[in-house]
Amino acid sequence: METAEIARRFLAFFENNGHTVVPSASLVAEDPTLLLVNAGMVPFKPYFLGQRTPPFDRATSAQKCVRTKDIEEVGKTARHASFFQMLGNFSFGDYFKEQAIPLAWRLLTSSVADGGFGFDPERLWVTVYLDDDEAEAIWRDTVGVPPERIQRRGMEDNFWSMGVPGPCGPCSEIYFDRGPAYGAEGGPIADENRYLEVWNLVFMQYERGPGESKTDFEILGDLPKKNIDTGMGLERMAAILQGVENIYETDTLGRILRRAAELTGTVYGDDDRADVSLRVVADHMRTATMLVSDGVRPGNEKRGYVLRRILRRSVRNLRLLSGDDKLYLHDLTDTAIEAMGEMYAELRTGADAIHSVIDAEERNFADTLRSGTALFNRAAEKTRATGGTTVSGADAFQLHDTYGFPIDLTLEMAAEQGLRVDEDTFRSLMAEQRETAKRDAKAKKLGNADISVYARLLDGSGATDFLGYTDHESEARVLGLIVDGASATAASAGQSVELVLDRTPFYAEGGGQLADKGTVTAEGRGVVDVDDVQRPLPGLFVHRGTVREGRITVDDRVHAAIDTDRRAAVSRSHSATHLIHSALRNALGPTAGQAGSENQPGRLRFDFTASKPLSTAELTEVEDEVNTVLLDDIQVRDFQTSIDEALAMGALAMFGEKYGDRVRVVEMSDYSRELCGGTHVGATGQLGVVKLLGESSVGSGVRRVEAAVGIDAFRRLSRESLLVGQLSEQLKTPREDLPERIDSIVGRLRAAEKEIERLRSAQVLEAAAGLAAAATTRGAALFVGHRAPDGTTADDLRRLATDVRQRLGEDRPAVVAVAAVPKDRPVVVIAVNKAGQRQGLKAGDLVGTAARALGGGGGGKPDLAQGGGSDPAAVETALGAVEQQVAQTA
């Protein structure tokens, strides 16, 4: 039975039993305490916590999940995976154990022909919580499971909570006996490899208090309503029903794994190390594909770092498998899209954009590998220079943390050079980083209460009626006030306040468009200056501002009015964003998908997927096309329709965005048609002019254009025209000849700077003969200490030091110490000949002495080292300290 069919059967069964089928939420969690959705119940968490009222009593879902806590274990076992899908059924105060348990049993044991999974009842075992007599009785007396196949387990195994104060309750788990070949008899408590968990039924019936661990907390009492939360791992169920050994041999992951083996010329099952790498690649490529599809982009923090890390682990393991540096991710992304496309159609429709992001990250990591290799080589050189054989754990951690190098790569590179790595220190630093992350995560969990104030307002008063598409002002009633994060009945002059109105013309920030500003006035009572509007929950508009005068209270009748000039300017920018998007797609192709935007008054920025920078010609083409559309004065129309109809007519959806069944389409004839909830002009001619200000990179595979719109664009063009005129007059050159004239001037300046640098360098080196001749004897060594003229570069100091050292020869030990202040910060270079090194004089040691005197640090090889500091006045002192150390050592 294919994975997609397993999910279809599960959802159909519960839909036929009165449950609402809820589509999988995006992997990008709405919960601010989570980076990514990591469990099937996460989208329902506000309902279980009582923060929001569920729109249904029963629900069922197949939820996408990502967990990266054990990412280092992925591939090492056949059980760990970073992406998985959780099938679940949920009850919000509707039914409880007496229905949840029989429903689960019926679905598992009904025949395939009857829509079930066809499990043999004799091979199923169950566990219940230690004192859950009720659940045991239902399994035994209602379902008919023999008492000997019902086992009781403790809190560690069969009691669930979120880890923070809130709902909790006992669990009951269902296990499948895979047979004697997989382990010992005796049920789940004897061997969980043989007895494989397939379903966990959570009975939320208590409220827990604070505690430090999974088992250390107090039960405060019963919940007002008893809830059901179940979870069945789709991949594990697929492995059982498809008769394969593990999840990596199922129809989805197995397809990606086999393709990775084909591309790299390996065979799964022939070599344990290769098998680990193949499992890593299969898991990570599926995870990366799903993350990119939900709008995540590679980066150095949060979700972006998760994606970057798994992509880089994929590249590294592919190189270990193939022994070459070919680019394989495009092909494997295709395979992942096909493997998962039946369940998630958006993967196929968004394939071009997914490829664009992943391909760019793979190319960028190829460059990173080169940079990281250079860093490792420096660390290895430093290790050998000090006579060591072990690369420091700190260097290994920097490679891991900065360049994304897996520790196995660092170990391999060290072994190739006959070195070891201080793994203990590395793992200590990693553990410290994880503990910091855990503490941060634990602190963030306490943020569950943050939205409860808004949730109570939404539940008590209902959604805000938004009038802003047609009205710029309206009468309204104050439904709620929030001051300092808590509900309030009134707010007085000078206080920051959040207002919830029953109706509003204010646009709340969203879709890249900044919020409206304006005023809320209670006649004769008070005025609030609104400077931001947000929607912390769907349908709830929260107006944030300051009470300018008087007093505002709940139930006040008020007049809400937006700043119309600002709204018009923002709307022009938003309409310009749509036009630029279309022009970019026309110039670059459909892969130029939207990756973010911000529409300000008179100015915008638009992020889009692209593998390389735009040329000047492409930018000019885009700008010309947009302004031509403005001249055509195309009417801007918006209308509501179904999501399917909108996509069928070619409307563009923002990549990774979430939409409901009914959507708003904004179209500009056939030139631009997008799903959008923002405000726009009535016709393109109202934009006046659009001027592109530049193009840049904002991340792997993502570029950004910025533009000025309307009067702001005109003013910018006017300023630039004035500047060009001034340059033309100053240089006595016609405007059209300015580029060539300026190039000529810049070329001459650069040539002059090079000549000045050459002369200065020559002047410094001219002193070499005199310095060598004036060398003094310190102990058994010759010593030269010299302060070069300020402004002398570090490169020139190195050349001077090595030149003087060469002139001193090898007959006697010799040390050369030269210093200068090139840019307000002193630099010192020390050179030691071979005879001096045999005498025990090391440049690295000597430069450390000088650098400490300068208030800084330094290092290098025994023959040449460089240091610096922050105290220019200490140069002579530093040279003197080196001279004294030479005298004592030689």
- Can you give the three-state secondary structure of 503-560, one letter per residue? EECCCCCECCECCCCEEEEECCCEEEEEEEEEEEECCEEEEEEEEEEEEEECCCEEEE
Helix, strand or coil, per DSSP, at residue 330: helix
Give the C-alpha separation, 310 to 280, whole Å.
Answer: 9
Tokens of 515: 């919020």
Does the CA dihedral 217-218-220-225 come out positive or negative? positive
* Residue in the block written with tokens 């193009």: 695
C-alpha dihedral, 284 to 288 to 289 to 295, nearest 10°? 170
Cα 88 to Cα 480: distance, rounded to the nearest angstrom: 36
Asked if 60 and 199 count as a contact pair (C-beta separation under 8 A), the reply is no
Q: Known binding site for Zn(2+): residues?
A: 574, 578, 676, 680
Cα separation, 269 vs 475, in Å, equals 72
Cα angle vertex 260, ends 255, 263, to 5°?
A: 125
Nearest to 816 by CA among 825, 803, 824, 561: 803
Q: At what angle do helices 272-293 and 351-385 cross, to 10 degrees?
A: 130
74, 37 Cβ separation under 8 angstroms = no
> Are 702 and 607 a contacting pair, CB within 8 Å?
yes
Sign of dihedral through CA atoms 287, 290, 293, 296?
negative
How far is it, in rounded angstroms, from Cα 802 to Cα 123?
81
Secondary structure (3-state) at 781: strand
Half-sphere exposure of 851 (CA within 13 A, CB side): 17
C-alpha 421: how far from chain center: 30
- Residue 833, burial from CB neighbour count under 10 angstroms (0-12, 13-18, 19+): buried
Question: DSSP state, 599?
Answer: E
Q: Give, as one character, the DSSP assignment of residue 668.
A: E
**Residues in the annotated binding site:** 574, 578, 676, 680
Measured CA to CA, the distance from residue 508 to residue 514 in angstroms comes to: 7
> What pairs with residue 605 in β-bridges?
598, 706
Give the number of C-alpha atoms closer than 13 A to the C-alpha of residue 140, restricted to the C-beta side. 14
CA atoms within 13 A on the CB side of 392: 11
Which positions ≥6 away from 243 have C-beta within 8 Å? none
Backbone angles phi, psi at 221, to 5 degrees: 155, -175
CB neighbour class for 14 (10 Å; exposed up to 12, middle 13-18, buried from 19): buried
